[in-house]
């Protein structure tokens, strides 16, 4: 087989870029769905808070809901910038009623970790292909890691090291 024949059988840079684009759209749509679920989850849980610390916790959860909705919109904008269609779905919602704030926060830890993992997948895919998506993913990873750290701090007891 000649070199020209072999080269014509190898994936071209364009094909690789198209594969990256399709995969990026898929990851971004999963992020849209996850962030929308986060907005619902944080809103629902803000309604389940009672006790002395109700007002600051409720307020914080509603801020997180607003931020999740903004993240969903930003991920959707990235989808359309890549020429894709934005998912109309929403990620799975846990349909459980928790007895304590700690149980709610533990569930939110899992939710934030899922988001971080998806943003990391997007970053890995975008590296060397799209600086814009790299920066988008890095910024979101930083924000989600900060949220996760805050939730983990909220789960600590006074006096914990």
Q: Check which CATH number belongs to the domain holding 76 and give it.
A: 1.20.1260.10
Backbone region of residue 30 per phi and psi (left: phi > 0; alpha: psi in -120 to 50; beta: other values): alpha
Q: Is residue 1 part of a domain?
A: no
Q: How far apart are CA 86 and CA 72, in angstroms?
A: 10
Q: Is residue 29 part of a domain?
A: yes
The first and second tokens of residue 123, run together, are 């970053």
Cβ within 8 Å of residue 94, ≥6 positions away: 41, 107
Q: How many domains does the chain have?
A: 1
Q: Is residue 60 part of a domain?
A: yes
Per-residue pLDDT of the chain (161 residues; tens, 9 = 90+): 544 444 344 444 555 677 899 999 999 999 999 999 999 999 999 999 999 999 999 999 999 999 999 999 999 999 999 999 999 999 988 766 788 889 999 999 999 999 999 999 999 999 999 999 999 999 999 999 999 999 999 999 877 65
Of the candidates 40, 154, 150, 155, which has an alpha carbon nearest to the alpha carbon of residue 94?
Answer: 40
């Amino acid at each position: 087989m000649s070199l020209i024949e072999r080269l014509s059988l190898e994936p071209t840079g364009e094909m690789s870029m198209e594969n990256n684009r399709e995969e990026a759209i898929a990851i971004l749509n999963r992020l849209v769905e996850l962030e929308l679920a986060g907005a619902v989850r944080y809103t629902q849980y803000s309604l389940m808070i009672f006790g002395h610390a109700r007002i600051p916790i409720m307020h914080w959860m509603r801020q997180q809901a607003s931020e999740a909705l903004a993240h969903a919109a930003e991920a959707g904008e990235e989808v359309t910038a890549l020429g894709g269609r934005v998912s109309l779905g929403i990620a799975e919602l846990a349909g459980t009623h928790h007895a304590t704030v700690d149980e709610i926060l533990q569930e939110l830890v899992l939710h934030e970790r899922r988001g971080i993992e998806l943003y990391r997948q997007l970053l890995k895919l975008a590296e060397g292909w799209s600086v814009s998506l790299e920066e988008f993913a890095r910024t979101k990873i930083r924000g989600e890691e900060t949220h996760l750290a805050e939730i983990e701090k909220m789960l600590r007891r006074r006096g914990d090291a």
